[in-house]
Amino acid sequence: MSNPSLLILAGDGIGPEVMAQVQRIIGWYGDKRGLNFDVSEDLVGGAAYDAHGTPLHDDTMAKAQAVDAVLLGAVGGPKYDDLDFSVKPERGLLRLRKEMDLFANLRPAQCFDALSEFSSLKTELVSGLDIMIVRELTSGVYFGEPRGIFEEGNQRVGINTQRYTEAEIERGARAAFELAMKRDKRLCSMEKANVMESGILWREVVTEVSKDYPEVALSHMYADNGAMQLVRAPKQFDVIYTDNLFGDILSDCAAMLTGSLGMLPSASLGAPMENGRPKALYEPVHGSAPDITGQCKANPSACILSFAMALRYSFDQGAEADRLEAAVEKVLADGVRTADLMQANDGTPVSTTEMGDAILAALDASL
Ligand code: NAD
């Protein structure tokens, strides 16, 4: 049996800095757990534009399609702000998502106890928080036709179209139910069935799919109420399934419940490949952070936790994913903090590399 394959696209800004720590973690799994990956590296975003004049070379796209999972750092930066829209660094990421048909975006919002004071909500509302938002990523109002700005009489009109097929709703719903089965077996579907036909269809299809998952308790909520409930009593949720637009907003809202951008991982999954593994791209939620690039200040945790998601969702290594998440939690509980996780008078922050050292030490201690 050959090793599972990973394509690393570190990208721009702090992307390569945080990815260097992930590489050390991958090395640890090979040395200490006999879990070896065939790792290849390539360029994406501004780095790819500098080398090839495009934010994603066709060869890189082909490699991404061929591997078991892609791990991405971050793209973008001020240097590329004035580029034509078609070659902006973000286009590389969008092309990966589109051509790999990554329809289910998984955004966990987990509050580590040691960081509960960083949440904008009261500690008791967020401590122990562990929710998963599944956002449909490849359809809905960001893609629907007709779209554009048109002349209508003596004024212009801006049009976007919310459009969902039953199949699109269903495949995302199945991904969400499968996740719920591995968690607390509760799924809340969010739409606006009160005012949108696409919401009515959404509710019908999700209800139909639920018949295949009798163990999962399904509830429905209007997305505006969902936003309110997320900041009122977020722990009532386990898995939330929602569309592209609502998911965009609700997942950012949920992210802030947990404190720092430097802690937030994500996964985008597509259909199963021949080997049964889903097409998959794992990346931290944060961007390239040009304000701290090159200073070894970035928190590598979001990228490391994205690799933990890869262990769980691509490589069926749930126990090893738990081990890595526990190592990050232990380091935080011990008070080891990068600058983004510090408040005034908190002492001296550790560097990106020192955070990596501490997580590796916690992994060693877990053996
Ligand atoms: P950002 O996420 O890069 O940074 C926002 C703030 O959070 C900054 O102050 C930054 O220093 C801090 N931060 C982010 N990640 C951190 C980490 N790991 N450790 C410590 N601090 C961290 O968002 P932005 O400033 O709006 O965007 C910067 C660039 O990144 C832009 O070019 C934007 O287009 C791009 N971007 C890329 C992605 C992506 O690659 N998926 C996502 C968002 C933004």
- Annotated binding residues: 77-90, 97, 107, 135, 224, 248, 252, 287-299
pLDDT of residue 215: 98
Catalytic residue, from 42, 238, 248, 340: name it: 248
Mean pLDDT, residues 330-351 taken together: 89
Question: Per residue in 268-323, pLDDT tens?
Answer: 999 999 999 999 999 999 999 999 999 999 999 999 999 999 999 999 999 999 99
Compute the distance from residue 136 Cα to the ligand 1 centre, in Å.
23
Helices 166-182 & 197-210 angle (0-180, nearest 10): 50
Residues above pLDDT 70, as percent of the chain: 99
Whether 134 and 179 have beta carbons less than 8 Å apart is answered as yes
Question: Per residue in 102-121, pLDDT tens?
Answer: 999 999 999 988 888 888 89
Catalytic residue, from 50, 59, 224, 364: name it: 224
- Residue-range domains of the chain with CATH: 1-108+260-367 (3.40.718.10), 130-257 (3.40.718.10)
Q: In terms of residues, how long is the chain? A: 367
Compute the distance from residue 245 Cα to the ligand 1 centre, in Å.
21
Q: What is the DSSP string of 108-143?
A: EEE--GGGGGGSSS-HHHHTT-EEEEEEE-SSGGGT
- Determine whether 164 is an active site residue: no
Which amino acid, residue 27?
A: G
Mean predicted lDDT score pLDDT of the chain:
95
Mean pLDDT, residues 59-75 taken together: 98
Ligand 1 in reach of 67 Cβ (< 6 A): no
Ligand 1 in reach of 46 Cβ (< 6 A): no
Whether 233 and 221 have beta carbons less than 8 Å apart is answered as no
pLDDT of residue 93: 94
Whether 187 and 216 have beta carbons less than 8 Å apart is answered as yes
Neighbours of 159 (CB within 10 A): 12
Compute the distance from residue 237 Cα to the ligand 1 centre, in Å.
27
Full-model pTM: 0.94
Ligand 1 in reach of 350 Cβ (< 6 A): no
